[in-house]
């Protein structure tokens, strides 16, 4: 009989590790651009920090997945911990003494993104060794709930600490990383691919995850339509709602309420997911999410109430979170153990690559066509995506329940202990999702709207 998650020592340690790391990264994610803005007075340079971080993450995401399939995953996570601690220590000391050059800030942001691209796939691989398949949906939901909660609290705490002293948010991040490192070091489970990946920069290895996703019609269709199309359109939808209900910048109250509702919807979805077994109803949840987004876009074209707009966006985000948890659980279960790093990084790459362009497209449509036509155009894109997901035979058939290679999967090695953690064959992961800046840890990747 599988060990319940509440009694699974290694899962608790992984959950705590992500809690400390994501809380620290959320505090610094707000503080880092504020620091640059205070030092330089340039909003362009402050925005450049986030741009550099996102670009570095996208460039290194696929190589990071290869690394996770080459090196023992817990060891790789500890190496990333050491690199993150070194970077944050240097930044904290520099800020404390009032000498934090822009070059150092960009180096820290870049190194954080690079380390996250390696840490994330390794963490997913280790979690698969720790959590059995029938508990994967619940485990992923708990990670997502943790990350959603921290995202609501972290920036507020980081902003308060920054107001006291510029170095405090980064000192808090250092403490969080240190506690996270201790938690990872205490994990007993090992996870190492029996058939190790080849060279990190080999074209074959870099595309192995994408090739696997392409071979399974269900994964391919959901990622292309729900991951790319819906992420892009939902990003455009939320940005347009932010601009419209902020009265084009005259008041931030309405737009802020909409964004708060989106965050609350994500948290609600993560809390609801364990109660409805999302991995067993992934298709129905994905279809419901798509059509809910279509109806929301149609309603926003005529609504003038920020309250109703926020509630509709919260419902969409709640459904999307539950559907994404179900899809991610399925992805982790059907992926062969020796490819989990490359497949997870490939799925995250596909879901992330279009996100920066959604707000840009929404802003362009709003400027050129006005709010009503902008929402209608976005709704048309959402409707096409919803129709494809609803009617596609590959989505209706679902995913395979076993790796297509037919190879037996190796069990994770574990150090002797009086009461060993059960390691059957089987995440955020928060967490993990790229942060705007700083050294961050990823949360569980989501395929659908609002992911990352």
Selection from 147, 215, 410, 395 nearest residue 287 by Cα: 395
- Burial-class residue 408 by CB neighbours within 10 Å (0-12, 13-18, 19+): exposed
Instruction: Return d(Cα 211, Cα 335) in angstroms, integer.
Output: 12
Instruction: Return d(Cα 411, Cα 169) in angstroms, integer.
Output: 40
Averaged pLDDT score across all residues of the chain: 81
CA dihedral of 113, 353, 21, 82, whole degrees rounded to 10: -30
Provide the residue-wise pLDDT of the chain in tens; the chain has 452 residues.
567 788 889 999 999 998 998 888 888 877 888 888 888 877 777 777 877 888 888 888 999 989 989 889 999 999 998 999 999 999 999 999 888 888 898 898 888 888 888 998 999 889 888 988 888 888 888 888 888 888 878 877 888 888 888 899 999 999 999 999 999 999 999 888 777 777 777 888 888 899 999 999 999 999 888 888 888 888 888 888 888 887 655 555 777 788 788 888 888 998 888 888 787 888 889 999 999 999 999 999 998 888 898 899 999 999 999 999 989 888 888 888 888 888 989 998 888 888 778 888 888 888 888 889 999 999 999 999 999 999 999 888 876 544 444 444 444 444 444 343 333 333 333 333 333 334 444 343 445 555 54
Could you tell me how many residues make up the chain?
Answer: 452
- What is the per-residue DSSP string for 16-37? HHHHHHHHHHHHHHHHHHHHHH
Give the 3-state secondary structure of residue 248: coil
Instruction: Return d(Cα 59, Cα 113) in angstroms, integer.
Output: 10
Tell me the whole-structure pTM to 2 decimals: 0.77
Instruction: Return d(Cα 163, Cα 215) in angstroms, integer.
Output: 51
- The pLDDT, as a whole number, for residue 444 is 39
**Is there a contact between 113 and 56 (Cβ–Cβ < 8 Å)?**
yes
**What is the 8-class DSSP label of residue 224?**
I
CA distances (Å), 52 to each of 8, 12, 29, 106, 179, in order?
Answer: 38, 33, 13, 7, 27
């Amino acid at each position: 009989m599988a060990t319940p998650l509440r009694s699974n020592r290694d899962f608790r340690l992984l959950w705590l590790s992500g809690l400390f790391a994501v809380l620290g990264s959320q505090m610094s994610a707000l503080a880092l651009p504020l620091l640059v803005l205070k030092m330089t007075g340039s909003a362009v340079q402050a925005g450049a920090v986030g741009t550099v971080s996102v670009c570095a993450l996208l460039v290194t995401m696929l190589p990071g997945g290869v690394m996770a399939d080459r090196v023992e995953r817990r060891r790789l996570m500890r190496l990333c911990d050491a690199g993150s601690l070194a970077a944050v220590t240097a930044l904290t000391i520099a800020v404390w003494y009032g000498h934090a050059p822009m070059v150092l800030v960009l180096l820290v942001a870049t190194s954080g993104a690079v380390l996250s691209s390696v840490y994330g796939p390794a963490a997913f691989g280790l979690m698969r060794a720790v959590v059995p398949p029938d508990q994967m949906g619940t485990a992923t939901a708990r990670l997502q709930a943790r990350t959603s909660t921290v995202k609501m609290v972290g920036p507020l705490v980081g902003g308060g600490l920054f107001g006291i002293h510029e170095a405090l948010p980064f000192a808090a991040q250092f403490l969080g990383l240190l506690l996270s490192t201790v938690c990872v070091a205490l994990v007993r489970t090992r996870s190492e691919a029996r058939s190790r990946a080849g060279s990190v920069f080999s074209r074959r290895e870099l595309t192995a995850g994408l090739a696997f996703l392409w071979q399974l019609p269900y994964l391919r269709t959901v990622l292309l339509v729900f991951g790319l199309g819906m992420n892009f359109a939902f990003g455009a939808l939320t940005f347009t709602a932010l601009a419209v209900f902020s009265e084009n910048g005259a008041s931030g109250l309405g737009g802020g309420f909409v964004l708060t509702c989106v965050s609350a919807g994500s948290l609600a979805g993560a809390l609801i997911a364990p109660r409805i077994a999302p991995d067993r109803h992934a298709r129905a949840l994905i279809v419901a999410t798509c059509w809910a987004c279509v109806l929301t876009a149609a309603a926003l074209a005529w609504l003038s109430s920020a309250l109703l707009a926020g509630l509709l966006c919260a419902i969409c985000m709640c459904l999307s979170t539950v559907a994404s948890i179900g899809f991610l659980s399925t992805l982790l279960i059907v992926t062969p153990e020796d490819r989990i790093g490359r497949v997870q990084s490939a799925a995250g790459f596909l879901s992330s690559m279009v996100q920066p362009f959604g707000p840009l497209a929404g802003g362009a449509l709003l400027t050129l066509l006005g709010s009503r036509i902008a929402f209608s155009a976005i709704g048309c894109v959402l409707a096409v995506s919803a129709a494809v997901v609803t009617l596609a035979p590959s989505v209706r058939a679902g995913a395979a329940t076993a790796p297509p290679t037919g190879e037996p999967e190796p069990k994770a090695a574990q150090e002797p202990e009086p009461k060993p953690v059960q390691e059957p064959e089987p995440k955020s992961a928060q967490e993990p999702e790229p942060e705007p800046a700083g050294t961050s840890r990823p949360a569980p990747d989501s395929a659908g709207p609002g992911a990352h």
